[in-house]
Amino acid sequence: MKAVILAGGRGTRISEESMVRPKPMITIGGRPMLWHIMQIYAAHGITDFIICLGYKGYVIKEYCANYLLHSADVVDLDLGRSAPQFRHSQVSPWHVTLVETGEQTQTGGRIKRIEPWVRDDEAFCLTYGDGVADIDIAASIAYHRQHGRYATVTAVSPPGRFGTLRVVQGHVAEFVEKPAVDGQLINGGFFVLSPKIFDYINGDSTVWEHEPLRRLAADGQLSAYHHNGFWQPMDTVREREQLEMLWASGGAPWWKNSQ
């Protein structure tokens, strides 16, 4: 099975970082967000990736083309030889296809453009290049197959914007930093899709989250896989800092299932 990662958007809400690199290349713990997402899939045996490029796609191309260089602890470089010698490298056995999907193309259009690479597959995975979770990918795929619909979206409870207080008899008994919003579910990415979804996408201007998903839902072809664990997008500098803190603590939730 292949995993498709949408990595072509401009990331305007985190422009402090995305002015110089695409959002999936913003680092957490010294590694691009893209790498963290690929690790999540690889932990469940999915190592064949299709990355949809757009804004500053050359940065992702350079990273992938020089992945061994980026991953090596020691590079023995003799300028008189044609190739450097790498030592203590930690490379992942991944196959990566990089597809230019247009700088102005919307999310649905990017998906439509990678149809030739997945149209003969039974199903494929798809997610955004700016969010991590401790999701059980294998369970989501099994759920998709069990229900037999064209598309499965991972439904998550969004983290709250503010911390909450639990007050007992006038004093604060507990402070909870940004609890999940009870009762609300949103699109958390981490889709499992049948190639039949391409019939729901018209072209480059199609926004995947608008007409295609609405039509799939109206046709009874959209399942929801509930994920009750950790899920966090990286839309702002503050959210990046939160992910950095989790990584630095040694307890990054999305990493535990990726080792």
Element (H, E) at 189: none
Domain assignment of residue 227, given as a range: 2-256
- What CATH number does residue 197 fall under? 3.90.550.10
Closest to 234 in 3D by CA, of 39, 3, 20, 28? 28
pLDDT in tens, 123-150: 999 999 999 999 999 999 999 999 999 9
pLDDT in tens, 145-179: 999 999 999 999 877 665 666 666 655 556 666 66
Residue type, 36: H
Beta strands 231-233 and 131-133: pairing type?
antiparallel
Please tell me the pTM assigned to this model: 0.86
Helix (H, G, I), strand (E, B) or coil at 232: strand
pLDDT in tens, 101-111: 999 999 999 99
Does the CA dihedral 137-138-140-144 come out positive or negative? positive
CA 231 to chain centre: 11
pLDDT in tens, 173-222: 566 666 666 668 889 999 999 999 999 999 999 999 999 999 999 999 99
Domain count, the chain: 1
* 38, 47, 165 from 94: Cα distances, Å: 9, 5, 45
